[in-house]
Amino acid sequence: MKRLLILSAGLLLAACGAEEEAPEPIRPVLSVKVEPQVQSQLGRFAGVIQARFESTLGFRVGGRIARRWLDVGAQVKPGDTLATLDPTDQQNQLRAAEGDLAKVQAQWINAQADARRQQQLYDRGVGAQAQLDIAQTNLKTTRAALEQARSALSQARDQLDYSTLRTDHAAVITAWQAEAGQTVTAGQSVVTLARPDVKEAVIDLPIGLAEQLNKDLTFTVASQLDPTINTTATLRELEPQADAATRTRRARLTLASTPAAFHLGTAISVTLSSQVSPRSELPLSALLERDGKTQVWVIDTQQKTVGTRDVTLIDRTDDSIVLAAGVQPGERVVTAGVNSLKPGQKVTFDEDAQ
């Protein structure tokens, strides 16, 4: 019986020793590779591509619009007709000016003949000086009336020409402010033209951010439909007054280059970033806080083990942390189960995970 008890105890001790000597299981972990950051993202804002130069045209005379010749989006060349007024009033004024000129021209011919006749009579000694003076004065008055009538005729012709609205530069029609049949006054806005050769990005920024803009900021402009189509930009103009409804200030950006896909009206996404000292951003789940220290688990990719590393935390959000020091670019940091690992523990990880 004693031998049996001793044998059982020996087997039990041997089993316990075997369990203690069993190797610790290799644990799979999730990880990310440390990527350095030299820019801080300040925000992303929606915007649109617009022409830098726009002009609003109107008729130089008033009247009723008879016809609009082109629609929004049409490309125009210098001299193209945009719209016309009913020319009846201008045509009547032109005919009246032509009649006035013909009348004054007849008076001018008579005044010339009378002045010559009075001069001949005076030269022969049979004409009075007073009659000659009257004839010469009438000649000068008629000459002034003739110049005035010619000017009135030229003005009437211009008024008729002004009843046709034309463009003086190549552009794209972006908006109409008046319709056919509408009566407009001289100078009233009728059509807006944009020059497509020089484009810029336009965004609205919150007041707080707009007041912090400086020359170190970098603007990255990308198409919302295809973010791979992008370019950089610089701030050209910031409206001094905020919009009363949205409390934003409009910023206009000069593009470093203009991709062919950036048509007028293209929806864009503009990212603001600023140069900062090198830092790294990691998921919040990578942070290990204990004994008053902030640490992360760093994987030794050669030995396939983990170890803690003290880090300097400079920012924390609901889902990420920003580190100023403690990890190096290219190192892998554990992002899940950080409270259940042990120093030197063997782990497996996906080496291609970013």
**E strand or H helix that includes residue 21:** helix 2-21
Q: Which residues contact 305 (CB under 8 A, 6 or more apart)?
A: 299, 344, 345, 346, 347
Encoded tokens for 289: 């806080």
pLDDT class of 202 with cuts at 50, 70, 90: very high
pLDDT at 244: 86
**Amino acid occupying residue 42:** L
Token output for 141: 């008055």
Structure tokens at 257: 């280059």
Residues of the chain above pLDDT 70, percent: 88
pLDDT band at 7 (very low <50, low <70, confident <90, very high): very low
Whether this prediction's pTM lies above 0.75 is answered by: no
Class of domain 25-36+279-348: mainly beta
Identify any residues that bridge with 31 across adjacent strands, giving them in sequence order. Answer: 334
In the chain, domain spans: 25-36+279-348, 42-52+198-277, 57-85+164-194, 88-162
DSSP letter for 339, please: G
Determine the pLDDT at residue 2. 47
The CATH code of domain 88-162 reads 1.10.287.470
**122-133 pLDDT per residue, tens:** 888 887 888 889
Per-residue pLDDT band at 178 (split at 50, 70, 90): very high
* Fold of the 57-85+164-194 domain: OB fold (Dihydrolipoamide Acetyltransferase, E2P) (2.40.50)
Coil/strand/helix, residue 36 = strand
Q: Of 59, 26, 68, nearest to 305 (Cα)? A: 26
CATH 2.40.30.170 fits 42-52+198-277, yes or no: yes
**Is 276 a residue whose pLDDT tops 70?**
no
What per-residue confidence (pLDDT) applies to 275? 59
